Amino acid sequence: MIENPLGKKINFISNYDASLLFAIPRGINRAKIGIDEPFFGGFDVWNCYEFSYLNEKGKPITKVLKIVCPADSENIVESKSLKLYLTSFSMTTFEHQDDVLEVIKNDLSKILNTRYIKLFFDTKDKFKYTTIPHNKLIDKLDVDIKEYNLNPSILQVTENKKGKTIEKYSTLLKTNCPITNQPDYGVVYIKYKSDFMITDESLLKYIVSFRQYSDYHESCCEKIFFDIFNLIKPELLVVKCFYTRRGGIDINPQRFFPDTENEDFYFHYWRQ
């Protein structure tokens, strides 16, 4: 697709059409937040809950499609264009589900400019909701918050005397679509090891300060990662954002330093 469909009225097409996909270069948004060359690893998990095609007998087959794209791909795919593209399979016939996955893999590999994309049809036995440990959830803090414009200077640190690995969660992440300004809600998970420890109060205020910030899901995750990395100079840092679904798709960007995190693509939180 030569033009971003987001924010425009587009007719849905029910026969396969790869030209519906629209790419967004990662480098553009990374440059805006000061990332010239990525120094981290990671991936983006897209769970597509409304995917369907026809089998060789004309019977509709409905699946949950999981797409895993490496963070070093040249592009991301715009989510509305992906929705339109996946909908175009709904009246298209395939003999076997492996044929469907192969077509999607080839199309996305081209648009994202990566050879390492992974695709699965999710099954009920692998689908699991993840419980957030109560002692790691910072949302319960009773704090006064007045800052709703992104402000990294909110973050405050103390010395991590015991050198322990820190894990924190918040369900209060809200960012906004950069085109339509529609809200995007999510859970954020942060793990790090550093000589410094971010205070829970300041971390919560920082996450809330994204409330009027507009950017794509992947860029918001990388902004959190970049701000924390610059502040505490960690030997280990993991940031994972689990956004709620819109248009039948939820997006889950995850970034790691160093690039040694186990690849578990099956985390879900109850709001998703």
pLDDT(262) > 70:
no
pLDDT(200) > 60:
yes
Task: Report the share of the chain in percent with pLDDT over 90.
Answer: 83
Edge-to-edge strands, sheet with 118-122: 118-122, 60-70, 41-54, 249-257, 236-243, 183-193, 166-176
Where does the pLDDT of residue 205 fall: very low under 50, low under 70, confident under 90, or very high at 90 and above? very high
Question: HEC profile for the chain?
Answer: CCCCCCCCCCCCCCCCCHHHCCEEEHHHHHHHCCCCCCCCEEEEEEEEEEEEEECCCCCEEEEEEEEEEECCCCEEECHHHHHHHHHCCCCCECCCHHHHHHHHHHHHHHHHCCCCCEEEEECCCCCEECCCCHHHEHHHCCCCCCCCCCCHHHCCEEECCCCCCEEEEEEEEEEECCCCCCEEEEEEEEEEECCEEECHHHHHHHHHHHHHCECCHHHHHHHHHHHHHHHHCCCEEEEEEEECCECCEEEEEEEEECCCCCCCCCEECCCC
Where does the pLDDT of residue 155 fall: very low under 50, low under 70, confident under 90, or very high at 90 and above? very high
Where does the pLDDT of residue 267 fall: very low under 50, low under 70, confident under 90, or very high at 90 and above? confident
Worst-scoring range by mean pLDDT, 52-56, 120-124, 191-195, 210-214?
Answer: 120-124
- The question of whether 144 is a catalytic residue gets the answer no
Per-residue pLDDT at 199 = 98
Report the topology of domain 130-268: GTP Cyclohydrolase I, domain 2 (3.30.1130)
Q: Model pTM?
A: 0.92
- The question of whether 184 is a catalytic residue gets the answer yes
Tens digit of each residue's pLDDT (9 = 90 or more) over 33-66: 999 889 999 999 999 999 999 999 999 999 999 9
Tens digit of each residue's pLDDT (9 = 90 or more) over 74-96: 999 999 999 999 999 999 999 99
pLDDT(6) > 60:
no
Tens digit of each residue's pLDDT (9 = 90 or more) over 215-256: 999 999 999 999 999 999 999 999 999 999 999 999 999 999
pLDDT(108) > 70:
yes
Q: Where do the CATH 3.30.1130.10 domains begin and end in the chain?
A: 18-122, 130-268
Where does the pLDDT of residue 113 fall: very low under 50, low under 70, confident under 90, or very high at 90 and above? very high
Per-residue pLDDT at 271 = 84
CA atoms within a 13 Å half-sphere pointing along the CA-CB vector of 221: 31
Catalytic residue among 44, 107, 122, 184: 184
Where does the pLDDT of residue 9 fall: very low under 50, low under 70, confident under 90, or very high at 90 and above? low
pLDDT(168) > 90:
yes
Mean pLDDT calculated for residue range 190-207:
98
Catalytic residue among 69, 107, 122, 177: 177
Mean pLDDT calculated for residue range 150-176:
96
Please give the CATH number for the structural domain made up of 18-122. 3.30.1130.10
